[in-house]
Amino acid sequence: MKIKPGKISLIRYACLLIGLLFISGKIDNDGWFLLNHGRYVAENGIPYIEPFTIHENFSFVMQQWLTSYIFWEIYNWLGINGLIALLYPMGALTIYALYRLMLMTAKGNKDIALVISSFIGIAICLFFIKNRPQIFSTLIFVIEIIGLEALLQTNNKKYLLLFPFLSLALINLHAAMWPMMLIFMLPFFLDHLICYDVKKYFVKDNTINISYLCTIAILIVLAGFINPYGWDAMTYVFRSYGYDIISNYVGEMKPITIRTGYGKFFEILFFLMIVIYARHKVAIRHILFTLGTMIMALSSFRSLYLFLTIGLYPLAYVYRNWQGLSNTSTPTENIIRLRKVLILLTNIAFLCGIVKQQNIIFKCVESFGGILVSLILLAVGGLLFFEWKYGSLRNVKDRFLRWGYISVALIVSCWLLLITGIKFVETNQQPDSAEAVEYILAHEPVENVRLWTDYNEGNYPEFRGIRCFLDTRAEVFLSSNNKQRDVFYEYISLETGKIDYRTFLSWYDFNYILVTENDIMYAYLPNDDKYELVLSYQTDDNQRICLYHVKS
């Protein structure tokens, strides 16, 4: 098939995936307990009693068992770099799904769909495309909204078949988020209330037949039961979140505040969304999606990804008539000026992303040398040839625009090689506790170790087979889930001074204690004769870690 010149622009649409530059090159701390889970499932099957800590007979729901298994198999075959490489196709799929959703909402306007999904892609890749189950649940939620919007626009029954498969995937990949599938249907149910809008505050749009919505809800619930834990997995979120003790201590569960730079940015974004809705008439479901996910994001930073992916898609409808990027034969001065600004912003964003990954770039260059440079030149030459032959670059008269497009092509080519090279370049992925773990394993049989760690440091020792007091799975240590003991409450009571550390340590038979500068025992143990300092070192981020052995 012959491609007609001017019909496509690879440079233009490559910018859709600019957010992939901001994906972190390090494994997330939670990745260690997920790998530990996955290995257990591969070797022993699905657990129902918590098997990794010093606590006994804790009821356990491995609510992301399938994600953990997938991560472990990738790690087992390809190592840590394989896990990092997985983030790029998942990020690309999510951004492309967002683009398709924007395109539907914007009534086919490619310009606004491209701009909005590109900027949202940067935000979600920067904060949320990590080795966590949300890389799957985010994509599932976007596809769900696409299916509902398609059903609304076409009234085609075939879309009903999509939802049970999404439900089946979500309940096994990330069960804690499964109820959101039903919650995201509520705005489409409430769209039927538009008939009571006598003053015409909202756009009168098509609505999905109530019988279809009820059928979808039933299919979602029925498919939700197909998981190893049944109803316990489906209701996991209600026993795990909404506790003040977790919300006040766990960083990602804390609310967004204006005290931080990120907080200021998102508070302004929330305000702008309110102003936009005050000036434009939209469908009631759009307002509900935005305000609902906004409230969730304000209550915990962790929920911000729902606001970015679901709460912002109505912007495509608001600005559906915008044509700022259209390739008209005689573009106006304003359009030319806008294109120049977008080129500058694109280059700045790409360069910031590359600077963020500069360590990986240097290691790529060091490892591959002239081969890498040759590949860059080959990629640039191929991209520019294709663009000149089939794209719209040859029709650009403005010199600034022409060289601006070329500069984008150069940076895109570097990015392509960057995400390829990351799979082959060795990077230091060891967590802060690694040196202490190696010491323990060199001096004690792993089955004899009972280790104290704080909230953040337990994941990696458990991955290495050491039983710890707790890890970052905060909800596992609530009695509402484990049916035994509020371990997390004990931990917070210790760290806040409500329990004397000697009283606390008398409850558990620890033989090693690993403390950081943030741990209350960091100040007390040096003066306690019962504990011997066996290792002390500084981490890369200048945090002191001390390992104590309990004297016999």
pLDDT for the residue numbered 2: 40
202 to 54, 139, 282, 474: CA distances (angstroms)? 56, 29, 5, 42
Say which residues have a Cβ less than 8 Å from residue 491's Cβ, sequence separation at least 6.
Answer: 454, 455, 469, 470, 477
- Has residue 506 got a pLDDT over 60? yes
Question: What DSSP designation does 236 have?
Answer: G
pLDDT tens digits along 196-211: 654 566 777 778 889 9
Rounded-to-integer distance, Cα 364 and Cα 98, Å = 31
Residues of the chain with pLDDT > 70: what percent?
81
Rounded-to-integer distance, Cα 77 and Cα 467, Å = 26
B/e letters for 215-247, b = 16+ CB within 10 Å, e = fewer, are ebbebbeebbeebbbeebbbbbbebbbebeebb
pLDDT for the residue numbered 226: 97
Average pLDDT over residues 533-549: 91
Average pLDDT over residues 262-280: 83
- Has residue 423 got a pLDDT over 70? no
8 A C-beta contact, residue 511 and residue 444:
yes
Question: Which amino acid appears at position 297 of this protein?
Answer: A
Pull the structure tokens for residue 91.
């990020």
* Radius of gyration over every alpha carbon of the chain, rounded to an integer in angstroms: 26
Pull the structure tokens for residue 332.
């106006």
- Has residue 503 got a pLDDT over 60? yes
Pull the structure tokens for residue 345.
């912003």
Question: Which amino acid appears at position 87 of this protein?
Answer: L
Say which residues have a Cβ less than 8 Å from residue 409's Cβ, sequence separation at least 6.
Answer: 11, 380, 383, 384, 387
Better-scored residue on pLDDT, 534 or 20:
534
Say which residues have a Cβ less than 8 Å from residue 511's Cβ, sequence separation at least 6.
Answer: 444, 448, 449, 450, 451, 549, 550
Confidence of residue 61 (pLDDT cuts 50, 70, 90): very high
pLDDT tens digits along 126-150: 889 999 999 999 999 999 999 999 9
Confidence of residue 28 (pLDDT cuts 50, 70, 90): confident
pLDDT for the residue numbered 1: 34
Q: How many CB atoms lie within 10 A of CB 541?
A: 6
Phi, psi of 329 (to 5 degrees): -65, -30
Rounded-to-integer distance, Cα 146 and Cα 310, Å = 10
Better-scored residue on pLDDT, 103 or 256:
103
Q: Which of 153-162, 386-395, 397-406 has the lowest mean pLDDT?
A: 386-395
Average pLDDT over residues 13-30: 80
Question: What DSSP designation does 59 have?
Answer: B
Question: What DSSP designation does 254 have?
Answer: S
Rounded-to-integer distance, Cα 365 and Cα 382, Å = 21
Question: What DSSP designation does 548 have?
Answer: E
481 to 208, 231, 472: CA distances (angstroms)? 38, 13, 15
Tokens 């972190």 — which residue?
Answer: 24
Average pLDDT over residues 333-344: 74
Give the strand pairing for 531-538 and 512-516. unpaired
Pull the structure tokens for residue 446.
């792993």
8 A C-beta contact, residue 278 and residue 235:
no
pLDDT for the residue numbered 241: 80
pLDDT for the residue numbered 316: 93
Question: Which amino acid appears at position 497 of this protein?
Answer: G
Give the strand pairing for 544-550 and 531-538. antiparallel
- Has residue 269 got a pLDDT over 60? yes
Length of the chain: 552
Q: For the chain, which domains are there?
A: 90-318 (no CATH), 333-421 (no CATH), 434-550 (3.40.190)
Mean pLDDT of the chain: 84
Say which residues have a Cβ less than 8 Å from residue 134's Cβ, sequence separation at least 6.
Answer: 128, 174, 177, 305
B/e letters for 168-201, b = 16+ CB within 10 Å, e = fewer, are bbbbbbbbbbbbbbeebbebbbebeebeeeeeee
pLDDT tens digits along 272-301: 888 888 888 888 899 999 999 999 988 888
Which residues is 468 bridged to in the sheet? 53, 451
Q: Degrees (nearest 5) of the Cα angle 143, 155, 102?
A: 40
264 to 257, 261, 298: CA distances (angstroms)? 7, 5, 12
